[in-house]
């Protein structure tokens, strides 16, 4: 057993591999099949589309306007969340002013990103970056959060793959913490990259570095970042395509190890007005249960040592010969 605290996140975790051997006595809940509001043909079950993307002869086109509101001819589709956490109906001081959009990534109901073809990934990226640019046109928006919940345990209420994007006046506390670190410690960016390159926890390296963090909140959690300083990778579609090609292979590998596990991913990028920053992406498989200790005392019990998780991921990657 071991206590760890991460200098960058401030997280504390207790590595206790013995805890992973506990038996569990709960039966699995069988999900009921229902009509999916995100599938083609069911567009009127959602708010009107803000934009759609279409694949045309290997090119991705973005379309907007009234004629696409409920059209079923799309490859990725963006619309306001029917149950938003933020909206623009009020600008009173304590009101959560902002935008809350959903991006339906692909027409296929049962696909995850590790099964997408390259054009599907391009379509998804174009939808994501296009709606982000639109949100940023509103100067009241200080930060755009991009995140994805895959699977019920990760918080997804619809199984069809989708990403959420929130633009708000609020800069999230974790981003403010990282801004403070990068502002007060000019060497922090190099420290983060050097931390990523600790060989016992590196799982992949080229222009990007993928690694298991020193003190994760979940076994087999991994981060991805650029080798060189990049403030906001979402502003570069070509780099985003490279990133998601790596990410999709790592998700495939994670599922080889853990099965069809639920997971979250999210980007940490800079606010548009802040340049002293280095982006990263966090991927959290929902293999850990937050129980009384985690909720009550601010530390996480981890049942797989980070170095063990990294070694397992690397070996699985190598056996599948994905990222050479």
Instruction: Please give the pLDDT value at position 62.
Output: 97
The candidate with the shortest Cα–Cα distance to 276, out of 194, 181, 209, 191, is 181
208-228: per-residue pLDDT in tens? 999 999 999 999 999 999 988
Do the beta carbons of residue 213 and residue 226 sit within 8 Å?
no
pLDDT confidence of residue 91? 72
pTM over 0.85: yes
d(CA 164, CA 149): 8
Ramachandran angles phi, psi of 3, nearest 5°: -100, 135
Residue-level pLDDT at 31: 54
- Res 22: pLDDT: 40
pLDDT digits (tens, 9 = 90+) for 136-182: 999 999 999 999 999 888 888 899 999 999 999 999 999 999 999 98
CA–CA dist 180, 276 (Å, integer): 10
8-state DSSP, 72? S
Give the whole-angstrom CA distance, residue 306 versus residue 321: 22
Along the 324 residues of the chain, how does pLDDT read in single tens digits? 777 877 777 777 667 665 455 443 333 444 556 789 999 999 999 999 999 999 998 899 999 999 999 999 999 999 999 999 998 987 777 889 999 999 999 999 999 999 999 999 999 999 999 999 999 999 999 999 999 999 888 888 899 999 999 999 999 999 999 999 988 887 777 777 777 677 899 999 999 999 999 999 999 999 999 988 899 999 999 999 999 999 999 999 999 999 999 999 999 999 988 988 999 999 999 987 777 877 777 788 888 999 999 999 999 998 876 555
**How far, in whole angstroms, is CA 252 from its chain's centroid?**
15
Pairing of strands 12-15, 300-302: parallel
Domain 2-19+36-320 CATH assignment equals 3.40.47.40: no
Write down the H helix ranges in 92-236: 118-136, 173-184, 188-196
């Amino acid at each position: 057993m071991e206590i760890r605290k991460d200098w960058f996140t401030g997280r504390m975790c207790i590595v206790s591999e013995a805890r992973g051997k506990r038996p569990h006595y709960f039966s699995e809940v069988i999900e009921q099949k229902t009509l999916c509001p995100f599938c083609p043909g069911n567009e009127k079950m959602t708010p009107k589309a803000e934009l759609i993307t279409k694949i045309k002869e290997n090119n991705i086109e973005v379309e907007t306007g009234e004629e696409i509101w409920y059209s079923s001819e799309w490859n990725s589709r963006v619309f306001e969340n029917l149950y938003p956490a933020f909206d623009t109906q009020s600008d009173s001081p304590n009101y959560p002013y902002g935008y809350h959009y959903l991006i339906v990534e692909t027409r296929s109901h049962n696909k995850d990103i590790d099964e997408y073809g390259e054009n599907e990934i391009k379509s998804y990226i174009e939808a994501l970056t296009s709606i982000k640019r639109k949100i940023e046109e509103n100067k009241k928006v200080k930060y755009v959060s991009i995140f994805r919940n895959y699977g019920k345990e990760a918080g997804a209420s619809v199984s069809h793959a989708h990403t959420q994007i929130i633009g708000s006046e609020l800069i999230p506390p974790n981003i403010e913490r990282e801004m403070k670190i990068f502002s007060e410690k000019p060497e922090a960016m190099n420290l983060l990259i050097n931390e990523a390159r600790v060989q016992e926890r590196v799982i992949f390296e080229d222009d990007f570095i993928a690694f298991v963090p020193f003190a994760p909140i979940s076994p087999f959690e991994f981060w991805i970042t650029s080798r060189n300083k990049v403030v906001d990778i979402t502003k570069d579609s070509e780099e985003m395509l490279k990133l998601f090609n790596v990410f999709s292979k790592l998700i495939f590998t994670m599922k080889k190890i853990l099965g069809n596990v639920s997971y979250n991913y999210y980007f940490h990028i800079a606010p548009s007005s802040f340049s002293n920053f280095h982006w990263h992406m966090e991927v959290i498989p929902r293999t850990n249960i937050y129980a009384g200790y985690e909720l009550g005392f601010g530390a996480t019990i981890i049942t797989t040592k980070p170095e063990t998780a990294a070694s397992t991921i690397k070996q699985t990657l190598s056996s599948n010969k994905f990222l050479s």
